[in-house]
Amino acid sequence: MAEVVKNEEYTIEITGMTHEGQGVGRVNNFTVFIDGALVGEKVRIKVIKINKNYGVGKLLEILTPSSQRTTPFCAHYKRCGGCGIQHMNYQAQLQFKTNTVKDNIRRLGKLEDVVIHDTIGMENAMNYRNKAQYPVGQVKGNTLIGFYATRSHDIIDITSCGIQSSVSDKVRQVCKDFIIKNNIEIYDEEKGTGLIRHIMTRVGYKTGEVMVVVVINKDDLPRKQQLVKELTSAIPEIRSILLNINKKKTNVILGDRNVKLYGEEVITDYIGRYKFNISPLSFFQVNPVQTEVLYSKALEYAGLTGKETVFDLYCGIGTISLFLSEKAKKVYGVEVVEEAIDDARENARINGVENIEFMVGEAERVIPEVYKSGVTADVVVVDPPRKGCDEVLLETLVDMQPQRIVYVSCNPSTLARDLKYLEEKGYKAVEVQPVDMFPQTAHVETVVLIERK
């Protein structure tokens, strides 16, 4: 058994990074993970936790800083759970993401000869998010609106967030002043009592339109017309103010009922030349600038000539389907959330696109049925959630033998697993392109071109 003692201090070298962005080092041959430490650094740590196979260290002092280290721009960085890698300069962040993808694909996926490109970053990796969800809470009589601390539900009162749009900061401040001035009750997460739970904003980046959603635990908000007046006079870009009713004792932020207080029920934004209606509950990529980069890459990899039948699986509100539609003969979009498919149909309609058919259901159930009925795809795009594709779906695709599969992934480890499966069944991963959709965080998005051997 290695000699590591809890609450003892040690000086160690950081020899690697986890995929979550923690530094990895060894204390007397025992692995420890340290938030905020970078590879190549010599650091002093205190061991705060010892598990069976690894320990957790708290960073006390950086003795030799890495050249990749930078001063985080946010004053709340140490506590806030929003950003994980602000202490890396942006070039280093991109390199870290490329390495994460390479490590997964080469080590877990055992794919040696696939080309893995450098991560495409943003020109300005700040203020990129089009959606903010601020929990509202109260501690010792003080109203707090901000974000949760890392691995906890303690709310940090954040006046300005460097990855959100500045208009979201303004909305937060107006709501906070309103709550304090009018003594509005605040929700208590543990007891399930009180009124205001969350403030959510959505922002159309190209249109400038702003939506404000106040999530409450009852049916009504006192002095709501005053809130409308204060919000709209302070922030003229606001096009929609809604109450969202959520009376459940749950971590899920939004309930399923909205009540309009002002303006429209949706705002609009564009990705490329396509227009999208965004409602409080619809899934919409949070970084619209990089979404365009990602979708353009997916379209390029799809290699369409106008004759193809294309499946867009896990299609959400049909964003990728629309991008594909202009170069395909026919697109079939499949998505499990019914409301998302309603939005997808509406989005196709407002863009005057007629060659897409949307279907509700799990891709692993719908696609075997569709295939049995005689419809096959020349090209398939998949964009699954973190758990990756179901094996039944991959099996059906392998039977169907599309020329190309374009895999969009938010989780490199399930991506590597699925690529390995496809490789064993006659498909070859040709090119891998990571795209930085979530600067300042350890999340990586990847698009892969896979061809029939």
Sign of CA dihedral 162, 168, 170, 175: negative
**Shortest Å distance, C-beta 96 to ligand SAH:** 23
Residue 415 parent element (H or E)? helix 412-424
Query: What is the CB neighbour count within 10 angstroms for residue 18?
Result: 14
Nearer to ligand SAH, 108 or 360 (CB): 360
| Cα 38 to Cα 17, 162, 353, distances in angstroms | 7, 22, 49
**Full DSSP string of 74-143:** -TTTTTBSS-S-TTB-HHHHHHHHHHHHHIIIIIIS---S-EEPPPB--SS-SS-BSEEEEEEEEETTEE
Q: Which is nearer to ligand SAH, 365 or 428 (CB)?
A: 365
Pick 140 or 372: Cβ nearer ligand SAH: 372
Amino acid at 43: V
Q: Count CA atoms closer than 13 A to 309's CA, side-chain side.
A: 12
Residues at the site binding ligand SAH, with contacts judged by CB under 6 A: 283, 285, 314-316, 319-320, 334-337, 340, 362-364, 383, 385
β-partners of residue 164 are: 129
Integer Cα distance of 91 and 96 in angstroms: 9
What is the number of alpha carbons within 13 Å of residue 269 lying toward its C-beta? 25
Minimum Å gap between C-beta 269 and ligand SAH is: 12
Closest residue to ligand SAH: CB criterion: 316
183: which residues sit within 8 A by CB, 6+ positions away? Answer: none
Of 251, 270, 259, the closest CA to residue 227 belongs to: 259
With tokens 């967030």, the residue in question is 161
CA dihedral 321, 322, 326, 329 (to 10 degrees): 40
Least distance between ligand SAH and beta carbon 449 (Å):
17
> Minimum distance between the CB of residue 217 and ligand SAH, rounded to whole angstroms?
26
- Nearer to ligand SAH by C-beta: 38 or 415? 415
Q: Which is nearer to ligand SAH, 216 or 298 (CB)?
A: 298
Least distance in angstroms from the C-beta of 431 to ligand SAH: 19
Q: Select which of 80, 161, 315, 410 is catalytic.
A: 410
Least Å distance between CB 256 and ligand SAH? 15
The smaller minimum CB distance to ligand SAH, of residues 10 and 314, is found at 314
Active site residue 83: no
**Would you name the residues annotated as active-site residues?**
410
